[in-house]
Amino acid sequence: MSEMIDMTLAAGLLEGSRCLVMAGADGIGEAIANRFRSEGAAVHQTGGASGTGSFCRVEDVAASFTAARAALGKLNLVVLAYSQWSTMSPEKWSTDRFQELMASNAAMAVETGRLALREIEGSGALCFISTDWALATSPDLGLMGASKAPLGPITKSLALHGAKRGLRVNAIFMGLIDSPQLRAFAAERGAEAGISGDAFERLVARVPIGRAGTPDEIAKATAFICSPRSRHVTGVSVLVDGGLLYA
């Protein structure tokens, strides 16, 4: 029996995988790339702190696939971890800003999905990173949430398309994650609203689990859902939020 145990995780969850991670500035993509490497995947990362330039344009997605392929060979995992965060009062909404958010948060997913279907031969996994604010919101995060909301049907559509050949497609919805970027974002929001004290801690107090998540907690869940240990999980929205939304 001990032989069996040794075999199970002699290697990481993603041993032998070749993965493209597209990261944004919020530290989530960075954490995913690091976690995937520690789980045994070969990772090509675009964007984020250690990536190649500031990555947020839909026109660059195809080049990212090409670069990842050149670096790693044929891919079997793709993670789109890019998020553009933005607040705007409904009174100040502009269609220009909306289109900008849709281009980054939604169109990126469309282009990534299309290219992943082509790049990944046979089985594999594609995962999108979204946020709870695409499912419920506060007044000034409506446009940001709206631009992530398309990931629901986009994920399901790709999942249904890829199911027969074992290409699984899922979305991770994150709650309050402790990263410098999201702390700064909360502080900015707190200042705008004239709230004194630690704006981030005020938000965290509402989370049923009683703390913010770490970027690696998003990354760990993403790794398991992308791994062969989730062979029948597809078309699913995984809430990694300490119970923020539903508990």
Partner 1 sequence: MAILNGKRALVIGAGSGIGQATARLFHNEGARVACADLNRAAAQATAAELGAAPCFQLDIADHQQVHRTVDSAAKALGGLDLMVSTPFGPVSFVIENLPPEQWQREFNVLASGTLYAFQAAIPWLRKAGGGVLLSATASLFGDYGAHTHPAIFPAYSAAKAAQEMIIKATAMLHSREGIRSCGVQPGFTRTEGAVRTLEENGIQVDQFEARIGEGMPMGMAMPEAVAEGFLFLASDYASYITGYTLLVDGGSYAGRFGRMLY
Binding site for partner 1 (CB under 8 A): 1, 4-5, 8-9, 13, 155-157, 159-160, 163-164, 166, 175, 208-210, 213-214, 217-218, 220-221, 223-225, 229-236, 238-243, 246-247
Closest contact distance (angstroms) between CB of 48 and partner 1 is 20
Closest distance of CB 46 from partner 1, Å: 25
Query: Closest approach of Cβ 4 to partner 1, in Å?
Result: 5
Which tokens is 229 given? 């240990």
- At 99, the amino acid letter reads Q
Measured distance CA(68)–CA(18) in Å, rounded: 9
Residue whose CB is less far from partner 1, 166 or 190:
166
**Rounded to an integer, what distance in angstroms lies between the CA atom of residue 99 and that of residue 1?**
57
Cβ-based nearer residue to partner 1, 57 or 202? 202
- Rank residues 16 and 208 by Cβ distance to partner 1 and give the closer one: 208
Q: Mind giving me the DSSP string for 192-247?
A: HTT--S-HHHHHHTTSTTSSPBPHHHHHHHHHHHHSGGGTT--S-EEEESTTTTT-
Using CA atoms, how far apart are residues 179 and 28, in angstroms rounded to an integer? 8
Nearer Cβ to partner 1 (143/182): 182
Closest approach of Cβ 168 to partner 1, in Å?
A: 8
What length is written for the chain?
247
